[in-house]
Amino acid sequence: MENFKSIIVTHRKGEKVEIVHNPTSYPLIGRGKQGAVFKISSDQCVKIYAKDGNALKESKVLKAAQESNIVPKLYEVGANYIIIEYLEGPSLFEYLKANQVLSEKVTNQILFLLKEMKRLKFTRLDSRLNHIIVTKEGELKVIDLVSHFKKKVDHPEFLMKHLKRLGLLSSFLEQVKNIDPQSYLEWKDFV
């Protein structure tokens, strides 16, 4: 196995990280504001962070949620990296954009995911659709959890903004109204 620890990323405020040095052949599969993700095997990937401390923050959230099926498995934590389960599948944003319809099954899965976040005591009860993966088994899993014990967000604001951008917010809220009237009452005014 090549040494992923030699990969170096850097960050400028408000921008995605830049890969400064990558002597490996590991393919880049994702890049965000905190880190870059490389596939290191058929079932594992490594996230390399630009800022010290973010690996620890995200690993705390992942460790707290390991008994739940809404997050990837955590395998290893280092000073500036985590090794997690590689999730094969599109983001929920890509999935919904391609299908142009929000099924009741997906709405139920979103509701379950948000309730699980609350049960697991996440303080950020929201996620971007790009940070939710639709696995090949059809399950939803949340990634990019650095701030889920740090920021306080008690309603799915980003999630609803992205659904609105896709033209699916009305159908989502209509389904939520039938499935979970209490959540509907809490969320209907955040649109």
Which of 85, 103, 124 is at the close of a domain?
A: 85
Alpha carbons 2 and 102: distance in angstroms, whole number: 41
CB 144 within 8 A of CB 131: yes
Q: What average pLDDT does this structure show over 80-96?
A: 96
CB 158 within 8 A of CB 191: no
- pTM here? 0.91
pLDDT band at 156 (very low <50, low <70, confident <90, very high): very high
pLDDT band at 57 (very low <50, low <70, confident <90, very high): very high
pLDDT at 123: 84
Amino acid at 22: N
Q: What average pLDDT does this structure show over 2-28?
A: 90
pLDDT band at 122 (very low <50, low <70, confident <90, very high): confident
Question: Does one domain contain both 126 and 185?
Answer: yes
Count of the separate structural domains present in the chain: 2
List phi, psi (to 5°) of 132.
-120, 125
25-34, 164-173, 181-190: least confident range: 181-190
Alpha carbons 55 and 53: distance in angstroms, whole number: 6
Question: Does one domain contain both 128 and 176?
Answer: yes
45: domain range?
4-85
